[in-house]
Amino acid sequence: MESFYDTIKDLDWEEIRDSIYSKTKLDVEKALNAKNPSIEDFKALVSPSAKDYLEPMARMSRDITQRRFGKTIQFYVPLYLSNECSNHCIYCGFNHDNPIERKTLTDEEIIQEIKSIKAMNMDNVLLLTGEYPSKVGVDYIENAINLCRPYFSTINLEVYPMKEEEYERLIKAGINSVYVYQETYHQNRYKHYHPKGMKSNYEYRLATPERLAKAGIHRVGFGALIGLEDWRVEMVLMAMHLRYMTKNYWRTKYAVAFPRIRPAEGGFEPNFIMSDKEYAQTIWAYRIFDNDIDISMTTRESKEFRSNFVSLGITSMSAGSKTEPGGYSKPNIELEQFHINDNRSEKEMEEMVKQQGYEVIYKDWDRILN
């Protein structure tokens, strides 16, 4: 079977961009009426011409999400196991060259973090590390999963790309989902942002969702980091990636996220800005394009913005987050990956969700029912 890389390797970034920006209001109206939206329809929904259709897009997104997921928001919490990283990503606080304190949690420290998180009533945990296999290899991650398993109903990963057999091993250990962000789909510019380290291999990283699906993972999460290249082109290529996966690996479920760059060690400034309205447009475009995907919003976004989107298309939110190893039991902002924008506690978040007539879900019931 042809890989996703094979399907896009000859595409021209500027041609895709021109195609998006040439979409008209008629194209947007056609997309809004499509029973099975195509990639061309998606281009219209993220195009500048769709700015006059945000209200009908928002209504459609709300209706689709309530039909598919009910009036619920799933909460999850990130648990950073390590900030050691061999990569040199110029936008990331964990960049190997940044003069920050490095830390990898011991078993005892992981248990302390678990207990602090359980005191928050959280039951859905996302384990994260920097990309440094020699320090936080598969053995270390499997051990962390084993430590978490008695405490959490759902364990997810966001770590470095692995081989198919390594994913099979971790799935057997108990992971539910793996999130891997391509960061940018712009192959010609990818090396600029990832000059050294294992992450500099564009093609290997791009093929990670395929290895995950072959390994039998329940859910794969996609993402592009907003601020590196033109977000509209990024979103179209990510939609193409999603469509490729749902067509060829239909047993796997999928999730998307598009985090915006936040201040971090190193002082990287975004090259492209996505406004709040454009972020909203993207959420609604994805919900209309694929009714079944999970759409998450992290604490990179402001509390006002996150509160406004409970009923408008997203399905999951992080709550009470810390982005540094040991952050729940012994906070130390010198270790964090980026500065959090929404620092509300999980209790404050739950109250906000309930005030809007929605229910907070702490478990992945979809997995249990399946």
Containing 127, the helix (H) or strand (E) segment is strand 124-128
Look up residue 311 and give its two tokens: 């009923």
Tokens of 105: 């949690």
Place of tokens 């294992």: 198
Pairing of strands 72-80, 177-179: unpaired
Please tell me the pTM assigned to this model.
Answer: 0.93
Q: Which residues, 6+ apart, have CB-to-CB distance to 136 below 8 Å?
A: 81, 82, 84, 104, 129, 130, 159
By CB neighbour count within 10 A (0-12 exposed, 13-18 middle, 19+ buried), where does 12 fall? Answer: exposed
b/e per residue 211-224 (b: at least 16 CB within 10 A):
bbbebebbbbbbbb
What type of residue sits at position 14?
Answer: E
Domains of the chain and CATH, by start:
4-369 (3.20.20.70)
C-alpha distance across the termini of the chain, in Å: 28
3-state class (DSSP) for residue 326: coil
370 residues of the chain, pLDDT tens digit each:
899 999 999 999 999 999 999 999 999 999 999 999 999 999 999 999 999 999 999 999 999 999 999 999 999 999 999 988 888 888 887 777 777 788 999 999 999 999 999 999 899 999 999 888 888 999 999 999 999 999 999 999 999 999 999 999 999 999 999 999 999 999 999 999 999 888 899 999 999 999 999 999 999 999 999 999 999 999 999 999 999 999 999 999 999 999 888 765 656 788 999 999 999 999 999 999 999 999 998 888 888 989 999 999 999 998 888 888 888 988 765 444 556 678 888 899 999 999 999 999 887 655 444 4
What DSSP character marks residue 226?
A: B
